[in-house]
A = this chain, B = another copy of it.
């Protein structure tokens, strides 16, 4: 699985360097305009929570987040009444890095998504989350991971639904399975094979998926 000079660590350090805080395009709860104070607070808090989670600290104290961000504790409590709400906000921010573009074509939608997933899965925070999840036997934690992944899963499956709506693929194409056949080989190579899938590998994967989902003649 190794290809020299193509190690994940090279890439993840670059990803880490440019990670911080482009403002998210997701709708911040209660915000008036993107980039405003409410959005700034949301990003500060979300990133502080992501830091805690990346360090395996699921039981962080809301006071710690207040201290780290300089955001008033009561402001945090008002907006995110529970630790679960905070984690959910943080994961939403984290998962918003998966950009799903609508190119209007099944093949190019899959290709863009594959390339984007390669960046996402090699992000150091995502690597840490997946490693922790792999280690975990805690049903609460895996339930939480499932719950945080569900909205992403839904966005991924919409790519399949769009292709169905355009008549490009059969109506009975199993969306979740096809998306797993795209994401899992990329994720496994990064998480376990410790190398980055090449552009060519991703293109071949997409070709095979396009063929697998072609209409019967």
Contacts and interface: CB of A to CB of B under 8 A. Distances in A.
Contacts of A104: none
B208 A133 contact: no
A131 interface: yes
A1 B212 contact: no
Contacts of A25: none
Nearest to A150: B1
Interface in A94-132: 130-131
Chain A residues touching B, range: 35 or more
A62 interface: no
B185 A177 contact: yes
A209 interface: yes
B143 A134 contact: no
Identical copies of this chain, number: 2
Interface in A186-217: 187-189, 191-194, 201, 204-205, 208-209, 211-214, 217
Contacts of A17: none
A188 B177 contact: no
User: Which among A143, A188, A211 has the highest number of chain B CB atoms within 10 Å?
Assistant: A188
A178 interface: yes
A185 B188 CA distance: 9
A181 interface: yes
A27 interface: no
User: Which among A174, A194, A213 has the highest number of chain B CB atoms within 10 Å?
Assistant: A194
